[in-house]
Structure 1
């Protein structure tokens, strides 16, 4: 039922198209076409920052901002799950240009599991657009050297802990961060996440910075919670 009103609004607004298909790297590094509700101009890949989306990106039309904030734009990926290209939880599939920014050792193993509609990357990187926007230098180089290695490390962390319990927690946290985007609950539940880069820790309030730091210490001493 939720899909129908979204489809009607998209047809009447923006550039009047409903779905957006894009090639992504998936299981065993094979490409597939991912489906989303349209949120950006059709020519977006060749405009502005290309594959990277920044805060208040002019390529995103108004209703598209709402869809992206609530993650409703991801709902058509139910079709990808149905045909076996994706699972509910797993590493997020990347465009090839961004996949190649992962360190080589991560490229080789990150998609040994089926990519997911949500996952640890979706939860932790909810504010990715804001971080990229705040960087004053080359945004693609910032992504390559600061975001991609951390994102890859998080996805490998998930691979080592795949379980029904972990996936249920991921689904809960995906919904949680929509309503409480700055709660930092993910760092309280998963205290052994890979160390966050300095640029990220500086964006946290003192309470969350202490939680992230405590998680790093637990990992070093072998007292991880999950």
Structure 2
């Protein structure tokens, strides 16, 4: 009863938040009219705005959803502002396109620029205020992480690095017993790692639910297969039907058509970069402008991927195939900028147009690493059931430095949840990722003690338990 009331409260708050968001965007447009026409707005100019009010509201819901603004607890303050910058730009561009199509020339174009500035100020103040209010109500919840020691430690580092809504209180890496129940009672939420077996997981969930604790489960492969499974009934027997981990023929055809259209438009838009970037690369370092490397795509087919060169020529001549780290000396000065802005990926639009790649899909790996990952985890081969992509769920939700098994889960989740709308949403979200520095950084090794020292917390370890305070 209490939980249902809380859920209803959050739902009502979300609706109110959306109404205020739309109201502030419309207010921004109206205030821009007042500024533009010195508080004397001609009827012929305001009428086109009134006609597109419902369309602006729809665009707001769409782009706020795409950029994660419908959930207050998803983003930090900095990420919220970045999301607003991009979402408001998309709303303005879309509205401008609609008014152009419907010949709403009486809707002055300068209004969009004035409105954008006003909306960004209003929405930033409102959203930061809302985040602070929700954070005070929600508080920073304490988590108990259960699993193997190495895994719980790695997860703790990531949670503690982003302590916006949750922090880590205990790491529990001994057998599930009655002692564990004591620690479940002491925290607000429980996180279960993927290696905890089914029977133990059930016991932990049951105890946590009885005590009204939030539960987070890090999925294993079985969980990934069950995602979006269909309910099938045989007489009075209820079953979950698990489809193949691949796209249907119809989905592949639609996906290919979308790839052709978007890659052609993308090449047209980025054509200035195709002229300017090669000149800058030539000035900065010796070697070819384009970097060509063998990769693996759908059905283990080999192809050559194209990129603007970001490293010194013959970078792997001495080392062989290796991953790039955060301070890789092989990366050129121009290369660092090209990587951080993802401009080096632009030539891959040619790969998409040719049919080697898709706009969205698992990132293509080199044959050496594909075989290496398959040897570690045979389930890695499932990601080759779809065409590789320029961007994907692993690039949006993960990071460049994420481990291969973490990226694999995102890739499998993408295959399981594929839709045209998902592809479009991921392409739009890639614009935001370009501006997020931590998404493009290479591998960096930081231990738990260093993170705790930085945020002013201490650690104490006993037999099978680590306390953080």
TM-score by length of structure 1 reads 0.68
Q: Say which of 354, 365, 379 aligns to 1:105.
A: 379
* SS of 1:173 mapped into structure 2: helix
Contiguous gaps of at least 5 residues in structure 2 = 1-271, 440-446, 456-469
* SS of 2:316 mapped into structure 1: helix
Aligned match of 1:150: 406
* SS of 1:32 mapped into structure 2: strand
Whether 2:310 is the aligned partner of 1:39: answer yes
Query: Which residues in structure 2 correspond to 1:109-120 (within 5 Å)?
Result: 109-120=382-393
Aligned match of 2:326: 55
Deviations 1:149-205 (A, max 9, x none): 11111111100011112112211221102224469xxxxxxxxxxxxxxx89x98xx
Deviations 1:58-105 (A, max 9, x none): 000000000000000010011101110011111110011221214112
- Contact kept in structure 1, 2:399 and 2:438, CA below 8 Å: no
Aligned match of 1:28: 299
Deviations 1:123-151 (A, max 9, x none): 244341xx7xxxxxxxxxxxxxxx11111
RMSD: 2.5
Query: Which residues in structure 2 correspond to 1:113-128 (within 5 Å)?
Result: 113-128=386-401
Q: Higher relative contact order at CA 8 Å, sep ≥6: structure 1 or structure 2?
A: 1
Aligned length: 170
Q: Distance in 1 between matches of 2:309 and 2:436?
A: 25
Q: Say which of 315, 334, 344 aligns to 1:73.
A: 344
Aligned match of 1:11: 282
Q: Distance in 2 between matches of 1:157 and 1:164?
A: 15
Q: CA deviation at 1:45?
A: 2.1
* SS of 1:35 mapped into structure 2: strand
- Contact kept in structure 1, 2:293 and 2:306, CA below 8 Å: yes
Which contiguous aligned blocks of 4+ residues in structure 1 show a shift greater than 6 angstroms? none
* SS of 1:39 mapped into structure 2: coil
Structure with greater helix percent? 2
TM-score by length of structure 2 reads 0.34
- Contact kept in structure 2, 1:44 and 1:50, CA below 8 Å: no
